[in-house]
Amino acid sequence: MVRPVHALVRSLVVGSLTAAFALPVAAPSFAQDTQQLRVGAAALPPGRGNPYKGVGAPHIYTWAAMFDSLVNVDLKGAAVPGLALRWTNVDRQTWRLTLRPNVRYTNGEPFNAKAVVSTFEYVTSEKGLATLAGRNFRGYAAREIDDLTVEIRTEAPNPIVPNVLASLVPLAPKAWADGGDDGYSAQPASTGPYRLESWAGETANLAAFGGSWRAPKVARLTIIALPERAARLQAFVSGQVEIMVQPSTDDVPAIRSAGHAVDVAPGPLTTAVGLVQEGPKALAPFKDKRVRQALNYAVDKEALNRDLLAGLYHPASQPSNPSGFGYNESLKPYPYDPDRAKRLLSEAGYASGFEFVIEFFGDEGDIYQRVASDLGKIGVRARINSIAVADWLKKFNANSWEGNAFNHTFGIAPEIDAGKIFGFNSCMKENPWYCDRSFMPNIERINSEFDPARRRAMLNEAMAWYREEAVGLYLFERPELTAVSKRVRGFESINRAFQYDKMTLVP
C-alpha cells in the first residue's frame, strides 16, 4: 500500500477527545511580528555550533538553520544537490564532486574545495572519527582537483557515497583553525540561511544571512529550549512560539482545536522492541524464529495506534521507513492474531510462556505497558524497566543489557537508505544484539552493488527476509510531528531538517 509521505493535518478534534486533552488557549502575549520566527525545541544542541558534536534530534532543528551539507537526501531517499551540485562515479572507489560556486561563509571565507578537503582531514582524524558523524567517513580521503572540484576515494567500494555525504558539513577552514572545537561551537561560521548572533542561556538568537545561497524571507529566528513538553505546548498555543518541535500525540487535539496544524512528515525511524539474541543476556526463546513471530502476532498495533497515538502512526512491516531507498512496499505488517501466536509458542515448546525484561528510555512507557499487556494474553510475561537515555546508549553500544529486550529504532538517517540498518542490526555491529552469519554474504553483495535497480531489488529482498525472521517486535513507522502555527506559510520538514529559507509569516 502506498501512502502519502507528507501531509498537513488540519481537521478539528470533536467530542470527548477534545474535552479530555484540550488546554486553555491564552491570548497571544507576544506581538505577532512577521519578521520574527520562534521555535520551541526540547533542547539546543549540547555541542552548540559544532556540527560534529552530535547527530539527529535535538541538534538538527537548530543546525538546519545555520549549516549546509555537501549533499541532501529527499523524501524518496535520493541524493540531491546541496553544496555539491553534481557528482560522478569515476570508479568503484572514486567519486568526483562539482561544488556550488559563489558561496561564502558568514565570516566572509569562500566555500571551495579547500574547505571540503580540510573538513575531511578533520573527520578522518582520530578526534573526528570519534564523533558520531565522523564514523561514517572511516576509510575516506579527499583531494582538491581545482577550486570547485573535489575527488573522494573510499577504502572499499561504496555505492551510496553521495547519500553518506549528507552528514558532511564543510567547515570554514580559517575559523576552524583559529577557534578549534570550542571556538566554533561558540561562534560558528556557516553558509545556511541564518547566522548565529548569540547563545543566550537556553536560547539561540539568529539573524538572516543575506549572503547565503538560500537566503531566508524572515529576518530573525529564535530557537528556545523548552525541555518539558507541556511547557512547549503552552508556549505554542499562547503564541509565544510559532513552531513546536515534536509534540506528543496527546497534544494534537489542543493544537488542532486552536486552529493550528500538525505537520506529519516521514521520520527516518522505525520503532520496535529489540529482542536480544546474542551476548550474555541472549534469551533462549528469542533464538527461535517461531517465538519471535509469535510476539509480532500477539501485539495489536492498530489498537495501540488508535488508543495511544491519535491514529497518526502506521504499523511497521520491516526495519526501513517508507522514505528509505529499498523499502519493500509489498510487505504487510504482522496482523493481530493471538491464536496464531499461541500455536507458534506451543510448536516452539513454550506453551506455558516465559518471562523477559524490556529496558526503555523516554516518556513512552504507556506504549511498552500496552505491549506487555498484549503479550501477557498469550502467556508471555514482560516486565518493563525505565532507564536514562545515556545508559541506554552505553548498553546498546556494548550489548550490556540487564534485561533481554529494549526499545529500539531502526534508523536510516542520514542516508535514508534501507541498507543503513545493517550496521547496527546484523553481525556488522560491534557487540551485536542480533547476528545471523548465514545472511552476511547477502549484505556484502548489497553493499557492493552499484546498479541502483539491482540494489533496490536486493534491498527489497533483504527487507522481506528481516520481516520473515522477525528479528525484533516491529511496532511503528515513526512519523515526525511538528506543530505549525496558522501564521506560518511554506513549512516543510525533510528528514527532520526544517526548510527555514522557505517560510514566511502572516500577521
pLDDT at 101: 98
Residues 302 and 380 in one domain: yes
pLDDT at 1 > cutoff 50: no
Query: Where would I find the beta strands (DSSP E) of 30-78?
Result: 36-41, 71-73
DSSP 269-330: EEEEEEE--SSTT--GGGGSHHHHHHHHHHS-HHHHHHHHSTT--EE-SSSS-TTSBT--TT
CB 338 within 8 A of CB 385: no
pLDDT at 116 over 80: yes
Give the tens place of pLDDT for each residue, 57-94.
Answer: 888 999 999 999 999 999 888 999 999 999 999 999 99
Domain range enclosing 437 = 267-479
Q: Report the pLDDT value the prediction gives residue 31, as an integer from 0 to 100.
A: 52
Boundary (domain end) residue, out of 150, 178, 206:
178
- Domain end (from 178, 211, 231): 178
Q: What pTM was estimated for this model as a whole?
A: 0.84
pLDDT, one tens digit per residue, over 430-485 is 899 999 999 999 999 999 999 999 999 999 999 999 999 999 999 999 999 999 99
Of the chain, the end-to-end C-alpha distance in Å amounts to 40
Same domain? 305 vs 370: yes
**What sign does the CA torsion over 394, 278, 471, 302 have?**
negative
pLDDT at res. 53: 85
Task: Please check the confidence at residue 7 and state whether its pLDDT lies above 50.
Answer: no
Same domain flag for 418 and 499: no
Q: 30: which DSSP letter?
A: S
Q: Is the pLDDT of residue 364 over 90?
A: no
428 and 313 inside one domain: yes
355: in domain: yes
Residue 407 main-chain phi, psi, to 5 deg:
-70, 130
Q: Where residue 45 sits, what CATH number does that domain have? A: 3.40.190.10
* Domains of the chain: total: 3
Contact 106, 202 (CB under 8 A): no
Question: Is the residue at 407 inside a domain?
Answer: yes
Q: In this structure, are 218 and 310 located in the same domain?
A: no
Q: Is the pLDDT of residue 15 over 80?
A: no
- Residue 22 domain flag: no
pLDDT in tens, 252-266: 999 999 999 999 998
Answer yes or no: is 19 within a domain.
no
Give the model's pLDDT for residue 30. 46
156 in any annotated domain = yes
Report the C-alpha gap between 347 and 351 in whole angstroms: 8
Q: Say whether both 303 and 158 belong to one domain.
A: no
| CATH code for position 318 | 3.10.105.10
CB 406 within 8 A of CB 398: no
- Domain CATH code at residue 95: 3.90.76.10
Residue 14, pLDDT score: 27
User: Same domain, yes or no, for 207 and 356?
Assistant: no
In a domain, 431, yes or no: yes
Residues 427 and 322 reside in one and the same domain: yes
Q: 80 and 57: one domain?
A: no
Do 168 and 280 belong to one domain?
A: no
Residues 202-234: pLDDT tens digits?
999 999 999 999 999 999 999 999 999 899 999
Last residue of a domain, one of 154, 178, 202: 178
289 found inside a domain: yes
Could you read off the pLDDT of 294-334 as tens digits, one per residue? 999 999 999 999 999 989 999 999 999 999 999 999 999 99
Between CA 427 and CA 492 the distance in angstroms is 37
- 1 and 329 in contact (C-beta within 8 Å)? yes
Residues 275 and 342 in one domain: yes
Q: Which residue has the higher pLDDT, 374 or 364?
A: 374
- pLDDT, residue 10, reads 32
9 lies in a domain?
A: no
pLDDT at 13: 29
Dig out the grid coordinates for 46 from the structure: 549540547
Q: Are residues 374 and 416 in the same domain?
A: yes
Helix H or strand E encompassing 467? helix 452-469
